[in-house]
Amino acid sequence: MATEDFSSRYADLDAWPTGEAVEALWDGQMAAVAAVRPALPALAAAVDAAAEVLRIDGGDGRRPGRLVYVGAGTSGRVAVQDGAELPPTYDWPEDRLVFLMAGGERALLSSVEGAEDDAEDGRARIAGAEIGPSDVVIGVAASGTTRFTVAAVEEATRRGAVTVGIACNPRVPLLDAARHPVLADTGPEAIAGSTRMKAGTAQKVILNLLSTAVMIRLGRVYRGLMVDMRPANDKLRRRAAAMVGRVAGCSADAAAEALAAGDGDVKRACLIARGVTPDGATALLARHDGILRAAMAEVDEGRI
């Protein structure tokens, strides 16, 4: 596996002047980002498939679609970081997030030896979470061979879930196990086997792109703004007011009043600032599945 290979270029890395060593490591980080580019078509396909099932919100009687992150070690920690940021940023419900980390929560802060090799636990954790066709399971493993992650993704695929496998080596079991394989071929690390470096960076980039694009497809972004953000502190309340002012074209005072009338909901506040009643804003967004662009179009066209 290339991620485990020794690179002769860095054989004397420890003897280089600090400036040269840091520059070489930086070069590796840039190469990791570039390695993601060939994966963009596969990533786009994964986004569309994920958004399709995640639109299931339980309103039709079916179980809401969930985002499920699976991983071990560095890959698992990077995956958990990505998912944990979705509720405050895009108001993604916590009960629609599942984290399956090899070794459990303790492994987020310290190594749990042998956990990543436990394929049976990977399958059992998928079964225990009752993963099914309405779920999106994202398995992340730099090597692409981590038994826990591969087994979990295999089981999730068998159960009909949308599965995404993110790996940094070609022709590995994780890519075979997932319906949507995403490869960032990052090659050897400057420090052999230290996949927290190039591979970790590429994985973080892919997860950033994947989750953000899914939220865009689900209507949680409008005109480049995070309109489903939770304004939970002073900074975010100022940001929310600025978004309402920008979208509705109103003054700061009017934006603040609209936010208060909309109970802090940016989407509702944008409609309220355009003259829609609070109840009317709620109904309008519900009619358009929460898509602010469609709701604003109806207001702009004078249909409400």
Catalytic residue numbers read: 85, 116
Of 167, 180, 178, 254, nearest to 213 by C-alpha is 180
CA dist., res. 189 & res. 179, Å (int): 28
Of 140, 148, 190, nearest to 166 by C-alpha is 140
Q: Residue 59, Cβ neighbours under 10 Å: how many?
A: 9
* Maximum C-alpha span of the chain: 71
Q: What are phi and psi of 59, to 5 degrees?
A: -70, -20
Contact status, residue 137 vs residue 151, Cβ threshold 8 Å: no
Tokens of 258: 């609209």
| Helix, strand, coil distribution of the chain in percent, nearest 5 | 55, 10, 35
CA dist., res. 32 & res. 35, Å (int): 5
CA dist., res. 89 & res. 93, Å (int): 11
- 14-42 burial, b at 16+ Cβ within 10 Å, e below that, comes to eeeeeeebeeebeebeeebeebbeebeeb
* HSE of 255, CA atoms in CB hemisphere, 13 A: 18
